[in-house]
Structures are given as C-alpha cells and as structure tokens.
Structure 1
C-alpha cells in the first residue's frame, strides 16, 4: 500500500514547549487514518504540520513522496490538501452557500449534508456550533481534496450525523481519497477498516490496524 503523507522525525515547538518529539508516522493512500490521543498528545499538531500551518524545527513532512516542509499552507491547499480545524472555521459574514462556493473555487457546490439545504441563505456566523461545523466540513469536501485532514470532526454534531459523516469518509476513501482525522478515542462508527496511530506526550506510542487497536488504552 502506498503512503500519501508521512512525518519523518518531526519535531515542532511552540516557544519553549516541544509538542512533537521526533515523530515518525505514515498515512496510507486511499484509506482512513486516525490519530488518537488525549489533549496535549500532539495529534492536532501533527495535522497542522501536514497542512503547513506549523513548521517543523526538525524532520520532514512528506506528501506523495516529496518533502513539502517548505511549502506554505495555501500552496498545499491549492495542490489538494484540505484541513478542517476543531474550532469550526467558517467565514461568518458570508452565507452558507458562499462558504460552500469558496470550497468549490467559486463554482456551484451541492451541500454534502442535507441539513444545510434550508440554511444556504443564512450567514454562517448566525448558525449553531454544530451547523457551523457542517459548513466547514462541506466547504472542505466541495474542494474535492486528495488529502482531507480533520480535527475532531464530530465535535458538536448529533451522534446520527457523526455516524453518517464517518460512513461518508469511508466511502470517500474507497474512491481513492486519503482521510486523516484526530480523535481522543477511536470512533465506533468508523468500522474496522483503516489505520491508527496512538500519540502520547508528543510521541507515537503504538500503531496498527483500526480493528486491532480499537480498545487500546495505553
């Protein structure tokens, strides 16, 4: 199985604090990979390093076989990497439809979530937290990225919506898209297919198949 994105010996510092301590991890192409860990484990920082939002102080971020450590986040986005942070990044002054069209590079964008259909004319900043999360996810999906990075995508969503999202991510991976998401625990509704890296205190504690590590506590 080929590798879509990987970290090789990556260290990331925030001031005096080192968040990643020489992390090595690989995410297979056309599959769902879950970065699992408690708050402060380094999973969000790993995603941000892949997206280009933080620069490693050492090591390499490799995407499709090349070192992209010097590539800015907007360049990576243009080349097919989409990142959805946990804090529901939407353009609050724009309508839902306008947010989705931004993801589709100005073209028409059909909502990926039926819950958004009745909200297309509403300003995104007026929506609830869960609705804003759906807008952010929908905008990323509208961009049709090759690599989709999601930080706790189910935060603020109803369990039924989360289950539908996970089914969508599995189907998307089956069609060739690579999905990497950060979670505190392995989501039950993801099924058994996929790969898991468990992070603890800025290091990879264990890696393996999703079905094997579902109940791993560390």
Structure 2
C-alpha cells in the first residue's frame, strides 16, 4: 500500500521532557489508521507532529514521500490536512451553524442529526459531546486529503461514535486518509488497515486490528484489554 504520511525517527520535546523517542510509523493512503495507547503514551504528540502543530527535535515527517518537517501547521492545512484535537476544537463565540459553515455546506443530517436543533446556539454553550460533534463535523465537511483526529468519540454516545467511525471509513473509501487516536480498541474500528500501539513515547506494536490479542505482540494486556 502507498504511504500517505510517515514519521521517521521522530523525537519531540516539551521543555526538558521528551515525549517521542525516535518514533517510526507509517499511515497508508486511502485507509484508516488507528493510534492506541493510554494517556501519556504519545498518541496525541504523534498526531500533532503529523499536523505540524508541534516542532520535532529530530527525525522527519514525510507526506507522500516528501519531507514536510519544516512546514508549519498552517501550510500543512493548506496542502489538504485537517487536525481535530480532543478538546477545544470549536470557535466558542460562533454559533453551531457558523462553525460548520467554515468548511462549507456540512451535511449535518447525515453525520450528526443531533446538531440540527442546535444550529443557532453558541458553541461555547454546548456540552462537551455536542462540541465534539461540531468540531468533527466541520472537519468532515472540509473533505481533507489527510484527516487527523484525537479521540473523536470522546463524550459521544456509543451509537453516535460508531456512526462517526462509519463515516470515517466512507471517507477512506473515497480516497482520503484518516488517522485517529483512541485509548482502547473499539469494535467499530476493526476495519482499520493498521493499528499502532504506543507506550511511553515509543511504538510497541504495529499491525492489523486482528493481531491485537489479549496477550498480543505488544507486551501483555492491561486492565482495558489493550495490549501495551
């Protein structure tokens, strides 16, 4: 499979703390890639490095084989990527309709019909789950070539999260590349092409979802059932 985006030997530091220790991972084009790991494992930092939201102290970030390490988040977004953080992904002073309009005519009724009654509400008056639907819906509407999502199901009801994951697979089937981070394996993500399990800033396992067993190759199961 062709590779859409890749980290090669990437290190990221936050002050004196090194969050990624020479990470190598690849995300296939036109497929869904899942990053798994507990809080502090490095999942979010991987997404931020791919998005250009944090500088790397060593290594390379490649986009379709081209070195984009020096490109900031604005230029990577202009080249067709979108990053949705786990929190604060909306413009609170704008209404739901205004937030969604930033990416064009979002099909709210298809992805998140729950938002239809909230279109005239300010985003900062919504619940956490409702704000998450707005942020993810805006990114989906933009139809980016590369979509990066940090725990997109956070605060969503299981049925809504499963519907969202279905939309992500539809996006991938249309040729887009999706990379998302979650804390644990989810049944609705079993069709993902690749799973990367992170532990303490390193890749502990890379493979297909079916290879993640209760005592899988990543070094023993924790209480969540995720091999870490």
TM-score by length of structure 2 reads 0.91
Match of 1:102 in 2: 102
| 1:138 maps to 2:131 | no
Deviates more, 1:172-181 or 1:16-25: 172-181
Instruction: List aligned pairs for 1:87-98, cutoff 5 A.
Output: 87-98=87-98
Q: Give the superposition deviation at 1:192.
A: 3.4
Q: Give the RMSD, CA atoms, in angstroms.
A: 1.2
Q: Tell me, in whole angstroms, the C-alpha distance in 2 between the residues paired with 1:4 and 1:210.
A: 19
Q: 1:52, 1:73 within 8 Å by CA — same for their partners in 2?
A: yes
SS in 2 for 1:133: helix
SS in 2 for 1:197: strand
Match of 1:159 in 2: 158
Count of aligned pairs: 215
Q: 2:33, 2:192 within 8 Å by CA — same for their partners in 1?
A: no
Cα offsets for 1:131-190 (capped at 9, x unmatched) = 000000011111110111010111000011011011111111111111101111111111
Match of 1:168 in 2: 167
Q: Give the superposition deviation at 1:193.
A: 3.8
Match of 1:38 in 2: 38
Deviates more, 1:52-61 or 1:179-188: 179-188
SS in 1 for 2:121: coil
Q: Give the superposition deviation at 1:129.
A: 0.7
Q: Give the superposition deviation at 1:214.
A: 5.7
Match of 1:199 in 2: 198
| 1:5 maps to 2:2 | no
Q: Give the superposition deviation at 1:114.
A: 1.0
- For structure 2, the 5+ residue unaligned runs are 217-226
Q: Tell me, in whole angstroms, the C-alpha distance in 2 between the residues paired with 1:163 and 1:109.
A: 19
Q: 1:186, 1:214 within 8 Å by CA — same for their partners in 2?
A: no
SS in 2 for 1:103: coil
TM-score by length of structure 1 reads 0.95
Q: 1:193, 1:211 within 8 Å by CA — same for their partners in 2?
A: no
- For structure 1, the 5+ residue unaligned runs are none
* C-alpha distance 214-125 of structure 1, shift in aligned 2 (>3 A): farther
Runs of 4+ in 1 over 6 A off after TM superposition: none
Cα offsets for 1:28-61 (capped at 9, x unmatched) = 0011101111111111000000001101000000
Q: 1:10, 1:58 within 8 Å by CA — same for their partners in 2?
A: yes
* C-alpha distance 98-136 of structure 1, shift in aligned 2 (>3 A): same
Q: Give the superposition deviation at 1:211.
A: 1.9
Match of 2:51 in 1: 51
SS in 1 for 2:102: helix
Q: Tell me, in whole angstroms, the C-alpha distance in 2 between the residues paired with 1:36 and 1:10.
A: 18
Q: Give the superposition deviation at 1:110.
A: 2.9
